[in-house]
């Protein structure tokens, strides 16, 4: 697909055009260029997004990173930054969005980012987080309170009963 087709596919998936979607679109294209990536049918490409904003949708569409496959992960720190990994080559980069002029409308933000080349938008640096392992499969257990099946890594034990997190409840020693 050419760039215009990838943009249209990203817009269709996201639902509208916006500056945020453009950020992810340009980040994905730049990652393709810098790491020699292509669409990932499995886990060959990994993205760790430091936000859950609009741009992540374009990354899913263009690079094939998704939560379900385990190759789209979130390190939620509220930064417009993305780490990309190429499992085949072992190469990785972290992209940090450069500051933009303040007080832009949505339309102005879209036009601003659409007018920039990726290298003008992002600072490139070494990744901070090592390449994550491939996705793992976990056993499932039936919660002994509600009867719903839950992944093993989400089960908690209380009084020798396997409980899902909802039934286990929150533990906070400061709340009585």
User: Are residue 107 and residue 146 in the same domain, yes or no?
Assistant: no
Is 100 within the bounds of a domain? yes
Is pLDDT above 70 for 176?
no
Is 87 within the bounds of a domain? yes
User: Are residue 82 and residue 25 in the same domain, yes or no?
Assistant: yes
Amino acid 27: pLDDT: 98
State which residues form the domain around 148. Answer: 137-176
User: Are residue 119 and residue 141 in the same domain, yes or no?
Assistant: no
Q: What is the pLDDT of residues 120-174, one digit of tens each?
A: 999 999 999 999 888 888 899 999 999 999 999 899 999 999 999 999 987 666 6
Q: What is the pLDDT of residues 31-55, one digit of tens each?
A: 999 999 999 999 999 999 999 999 9
Domain count, the chain: 2
Is 132 within the bounds of a domain? no
Amino acid 136: pLDDT: 80
Amino acid 74: pLDDT: 96
Amino acid 76: pLDDT: 96
- Backbone torsion region of residue 33, taken as left when φ is above 0, otherwise alpha when ψ lies between -120 and 50, otherwise beta: alpha
User: Are residue 111 and residue 74 in the same domain, yes or no?
Assistant: yes
Per-residue b or e along 50-82, where b marks 16 or more CB atoms closer than 10 Å to that residue's CB: bbeebbbbbbbbbbbbeeebbbbbeeeeeebbb
User: Are residue 95 and residue 149 in the same domain, yes or no?
Assistant: no
| CATH code (residue 149) | 3.30.60
Is pLDDT above 90 for 112?
yes
User: Are residue 112 and residue 152 in the same domain, yes or no?
Assistant: no
- Tokens found for residue 84: 């990309």
User: Are residue 118 and residue 148 in the same domain, yes or no?
Assistant: no
Is 119 within the bounds of a domain? yes
Strands 149-151 and 140-142: antiparallel
User: Are residue 58 and residue 100 in the same domain, yes or no?
Assistant: yes
Question: Nearest-CA neighbor of 53 among 77, 89, 70?
Answer: 77
| CATH code (residue 38) | 3.30.1330.130
Is 38 within the bounds of a domain? yes
Average pLDDT over residues 108-113: 94
User: Are residue 91 and residue 155 in the same domain, yes or no?
Assistant: no
Average pLDDT over residues 14-22: 96
Amino acid 170: pLDDT: 72
Average pLDDT over residues 92-99: 97
Amino acid 173: pLDDT: 66
Amino acid 171: pLDDT: 63
């Amino acid at each position: 697909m050419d760039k215009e087709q990838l943009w249209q596919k990203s817009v269709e998936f996201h639902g509208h055009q916006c500056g945020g979607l453009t950020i992810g679109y340009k980040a994905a294209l730049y990652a393709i260029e810098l790491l020699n990536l292509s669409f990932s049918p499995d886990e060959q490409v990994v993205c760790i997004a430091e936000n859950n904003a609009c741009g992540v949708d374009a990354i899913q569409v263009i690079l094939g990173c998704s939560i379900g496959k385990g190759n789209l992960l979130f390190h939620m720190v509220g930064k417009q930054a993305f780490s990309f990994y190429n499992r085949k080559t072992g190469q990785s980069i972290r992209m940090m969005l450069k500051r933009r002029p303040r007080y832009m409308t949505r339309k102005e933000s879209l036009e601003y980012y659409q007018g920039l080349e990726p290298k003008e938008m992002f600072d490139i640096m070494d990744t901070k987080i090592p390449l994550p392992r491939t996705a793992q499969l976990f056993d499932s257990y039936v919660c002994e309170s509600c009867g719903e099946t839950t992944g093993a890594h989400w089960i908690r034990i209380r009084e020798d009963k396997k409980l899902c997190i909802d039934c286990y409840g929150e533990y906070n020693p400061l709340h009585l």
